[in-house]
Chain A
Amino acid sequence: MSVLVYTESEQGKFKKVAFEVASYAKAVANQLGTTVTAIAINVSDTSQLGTYGVDKVLNVTNTQLDHFNAKIYANVIKQAAEKESAKVVIIGSSANSKYLAPLLAVELNAGYASNVIEAPSNISPFTVKRTAFTNKAFEFVQITTDVKIVGVSNNSFGLVESSGSDTAEAFSPSLAESGIKIESVDKVTGKVTIADAEIVVSAGRGLKGPENWGMIEELASVLGAATACSKPVSDLGWRPHSEHVGQTGKPVAANLYIAIGISGAIQHLAGINASKVKVVINTDSEAPFFKAADYGVVGDAFVVVPELIEKLKAFKAQQ
């Protein structure tokens, strides 16, 4: 009857989101008066989960699971949920978690709420708050099924430490057949992705051309940030689609979002609204982004950004 949480990993180590979803699962378990069981796949050391409230880890070790496969992973989580008689299953909001979630919902015949940003506001009926209309609104949703799946939005609940430790238990689920084969993976390494980033540096048409992105990448590198761009910039082919943030691109829920030369169309603002602190740098003081930002600099990006880079380098050196 415990709460089950799927703790994502990469190359044998937990991703940061694993600790956030574990923290969330602990909050739900406290509300329900039960314990937290995590399911971890191919993680060598699972002891960190105890810090975030996990009581037991079902530890799956199987080289056939080295590559993510949504159908097989969903089925593994289903077997864990059944073994634990879990009534609530917590997952994250990565591309992989969102891929497997609907398959898991069908397997468990469970109602699923995605993009959830707070611990349940009520447990009977089970009610969660989620973002909707691409962050233009919040929606309260009751999940009415016996088993419930909650997808927690990245960087919304945060990490909450508890005193405790987890016990690990080897778990050997059967593997489902999948009709999908991975031919190749093309992944940028050593670069912060928008999904995982705490800081995002984003630029728009104000940069005038793709040849001017060097300073954006440098600013991102100084801050340990991911780079992003506005829709027109990706439509013009100045930057890849994977960097497009906004309503039809990627949502951003960073701690700090820095918008450079982006006017702030409603679709763009919706996509980045879940970010905690927003900074805008723009020559046009009438740009709509200034109404949505916390801090603003009215000035020429080609002057402000290089100076900001130098000052940030000095600041980082002092830290």
Chain B
Amino acid sequence: MKILVCISHVPDTTSKINFANDNAKFDATGVQFVINPNDEFGLTRAMWFKEKQGATVTVVNVGGSETEPTLRKALAIGADAAIRVNTAATDGFSVAKQLANVVKDGGYDLVIAGRESIDYNGGMVPGMMAGLTNANFINNCIGLEIEDNSVKAVREIDGGKETLSTSLPLVIGGQKGLVEESDLRIPNMRGIMMARQKALTVVEPIAANVETISTKFEKPAAKGAVKLVSPDNLDELINLLHNEAKVI
């Protein structure tokens, strides 16, 4: 089985978010970048398929050379090879078109992506890739078993879960639950050394229209001070929630 894991290069979850160029662009100054958490759950599941079922795992990112350390980290975790599509990731649809082209070229059976990146939260790349490559698609995937060509998957739905059966080729939008947090791997020294020897292929982008343009960012308004209520006066809390906030 050939697996492609899509890796988004995103600010660490603890990052303070700032903008530059008159609020037109994300300011990466001083920001630590990581593998998108939803993608990391998927990468870890891919490692399981590699070790238990002999799958090969390639990771891919659409972005400039600044994303290569993130791809190297994925190689250090255990991916066999990496591909970087050499263009800025501008909008979800054009990224999906670039990735779909990589999928077609490489003939991958299973494509694992996170359900969304934690930066732009578009939540569209996995589904668009599936649509563009005519593969089956399961979003919010929290369980995945594959035997030969047949797939059993679990999808989180509002208020529960759904068990699905399908077949390869398949694209999933993965998230926590696909593996546990404690299953995530920190690259060890041997992995880091080996990652240096592995192929990181840079491919040039195909022509793809941009369908959405990010024009401006705003930060949420500063919050007013909290109103403290004494634990001996909870009637006051109920009064405030009922009469002032009008939420109960």
Contacts and interface: CB of A to CB of B under 8 A. Distances in A.
Given A103-B131, A106-B128, A134-B118, 20 more contacts: A96-B157, A99-B127, A101-B123, A111-B91, A112-B93, A133-B11, A136-B16, A142-B213, A181-B165, A185-B161, A235-B182, A242-B161, A279-B241, A294-B226, A296-B226, A296-B228, A298-B228, A308-B238, A311-B238, A312-B238
A56 B128 CA distance: 29
A294 B227 contact: yes
B131 A105 contact: yes
Contact of B231 (A98, A185, A267, A304): A304
A143 B242 CA distance: 40
Interface of B: 11, 13-14, 16-17, 19, 37-38, 91-93, 96, 118-128, 130-132, 136-140, 142, 152, 156-167, 175-177, 180-182, 210-220, 223-224, 226-231, 234-235, 237-238, 240-242, 245, 247-248
A104 B234 CA distance: 49
A187 B128 contact: no
The 10 closest A-B pairs by CB, nearest first: A102-B127, A106-B131, A299-B231, A187-B160, A111-B211, A193-B159, A256-B247, A195-B158, A102-B124, A99-B139
Given A112-B124, A134-B118, A184 B159 contact: no
A247 interface: yes
A102 B126 contact: yes
Interface residues of A, number: 90
Q: Which secondary structure dominates chain B's binding surface?
A: mixed
Given A102-B126, A145-B211, A307 B238 contact: no
A156 to B, nearest CB: 13
B156 A315 contact: no
B45 to A, nearest CB: 14
Contacts of B215: 127, 140-142
Contacts of B38: 248
A141 B213 contact: yes
A24 interface: no
Contacts of A205: none
Interface string A97-135: 011111101110011111100000000000101011111
Nearest to A273: B220
Given A184-B162, A294-B245, A248 B127 contact: no
Contacts of B128: 102-103, 105-106
A170 interface: no
B159 A280 contact: no
A86 to B, nearest CB: 17
B159 A293 contact: no
Given A277-B241, A279-B241, A95 B211 contact: no
Interface string A136-153: 111111111100000000
Given A187-B157, A193-B158, A297 B231 contact: yes
21 contacts: A99-B127, A100-B127, A111-B91, A112-B122, A112-B124, A132-B121, A140-B216, A142-B212, A144-B212, A145-B211, A180-B136, A181-B166, A187-B157, A241-B176, A256-B247, A266-B14, A277-B245, A279-B237, A292-B223, A297-B231, A312-B238
